[in-house]
Amino acid sequence: MTPEKRYALDLQEQDKLRNQKPIDETIARNTASVMSDVNNNLSSLHNPFNNPFNSQIAKDTKKLLDLNSRKEKMSVDMRKMIMNLTQTEFDRFESTMIEYQLSSK
């Protein structure tokens, strides 16, 4: 490479750096303001530091889903148990359930 060509490339490199510097500064400044920690869960979609799963509604939803899952499992287990009862066991179970329903009203 000739010295003239090397000098021309150096000038082009300096021009690129000079033109790129304001862009880099703007990006750094905007990134700092966007990435700042916010305690507001409403902005969780825009802030990677704010976990949307820590919001109260997400916790309440998880609690409700867990309860429904437990109820479903118990319902399946109860159906299996009832299907396996003999006639006398079922009569006793049925009377117990009727008594429970009458006492809980």
Q: Using one digit for the tens of pLDDT, what is the confidence trace for 27-53? A: 777 776 665 555 555 554 555 666 777
In a domain, 89, yes or no: yes
In a domain, 65, yes or no: yes
Q: Supply the pTM of this predicted model.
A: 0.46
In a domain, 69, yes or no: yes
65 and 99 in a single domain? The answer is: yes
Distance CA 96, CA 42 (A): 50
Q: Using one digit for the tens of pLDDT, what is the confidence trace for 56-104? A: 888 899 999 999 999 999 999 999 999 999 999 999 999 999 999 999 8
SS (H, E, C) the chain: CCHHHHHHHHHHHHHHHHHHHHHHHHHHHHHHHHCCCCCCHHHCCCCCCCCHHHCHHHHHHHHHHHHHHHHHHHHHHHHHHHHCCCHHHHHHHHHHHHHHHHHHC
Q: Is the CB of residue 41 less than 8 Å from the CB of residue 49? A: no
In a domain, 54, yes or no: no
In a domain, 3, yes or no: yes
In a domain, 47, yes or no: no
In a domain, 14, yes or no: yes
64 and 24 in a single domain? The answer is: no
Q: Provide the residue range defining the domain that includes 81.
A: 59-105
Number of domains comprising the chain: 2
